[in-house]
Amino acid sequence: MRVEIWSDIACPWCYIGKARFEKGLAAFAHRDEVEVVHRSFELDPSRAKHDTAPVVEMLAKKYGRTLDEARAMEEHVASNARSEGLGYRTEGRDHGSTFDIHRLLHLARARGRQDELLDLAYRANFAEERSVFDAEVLVDLAAEAGLDADEARAVLTDEDAYADDVRTDEREAAELGATGVPFFVLDRRYGVSGGQPAEVFTQALEQAWQGRAITPIGAAAGACDADGSCEVPQA
């Protein structure tokens, strides 16, 4: 079974949702037969590359609240994160363009290190004093995830590298009806939106597992059977 997770590194519910999904997956009997792929989704796709701003200020401006009210919103999210055992800073964190991080996550996927890099990037962004909007921090995270630092730097420098992969993921999310993230798609058949409780993920995995029937298309045609015989069916 295959689970695709659309998320953005700047999305706290994606950070929390990933932990809850993994807890739900751990309780699923067929967990070893589940392949997880992370896909790109930018919450703020029009944001310029170097345009960063403190999260609390961005929230206050966006929702027309005071800084104290914005901090309270962040505290609410932080309490959800902490209840999952995740670190969460409510001050000093920046908001910015995540396009480059998504490109790097595609390189990591090609090298079999996507999950490692995503976990490190979430931790850097939400729990540590490291800016994921700084290219050198991203190179360090890539190296920590087991990627080649020079290759990571080359991808970050070449703005076209994996750019189409990011855009393809985003177009697919829209086609599948995603209006936000995290968005979990099981075998392209069932969808789970948001940072649901772990039990919901386990239940969704069980439902998708049971619903894996394949609808056949086409009449009989030349094939080789499991007994090794290869013949053309008679019309």
Interacting positions 97-126 with a second copy (CB under 8 A): 110, 112
**Angle formed at CA 165 by CA 196 and CA 94, multiple of 5 degrees:** 60
Q: Is 151 in the site for a second copy (CB under 8 A)?
A: no
* 94 belongs to the binding site for a second copy (CB under 8 A): no
Q: How far is the CB of 135 from a second copy (least distance, A)?
A: 23
Which two structure tokens, joined as six digits, stand for 28?
């699923």
Shortest spacing between CB 30 and a second copy, in angstroms: 10
- Tell me the C-alpha distance between 39 and 192, whole Å: 14
User: Structure tokens of 56?
Assistant: 């609390």
Task: Select the residue interacting with a second copy from 3, 5, 9, 11 (CB under 8 A).
Answer: 11
Amino acid (one-letter) located at 218: G
List the interface residues with a second copy, window 69-88 (CB under 8 A).
73, 76-77, 80
| Euclidean distance between CA atoms 115 and 195, whole angstroms | 17
Residue 8 vs 115, nearer CB to a second copy: 8
Stretch that binds a second copy, among 99-107, 114-122, 138-146, 216-224 (CB under 8 A): 216-224
- For residue 160, count CB atoms less than 10 angstroms from its CB and return exposed for 0-12, middle for 13-18, buried for 19 or more: exposed
Minimum distance from CB of 70 to a second copy (Å)? 12
- The dihedral sign for the CA sequence 106, 107, 112, 113: negative
- Residue 157: count of CB within 10 angstroms of its CB: 10
> Which residues are at the interface with a second copy (CB under 8 A)?
1-2, 8, 10-14, 16-17, 33, 43-44, 62-63, 73, 76-77, 80, 110, 112, 168, 171-172, 175-182, 185, 187-197, 200, 203-204, 207, 212, 214-218, 220-226, 228-233
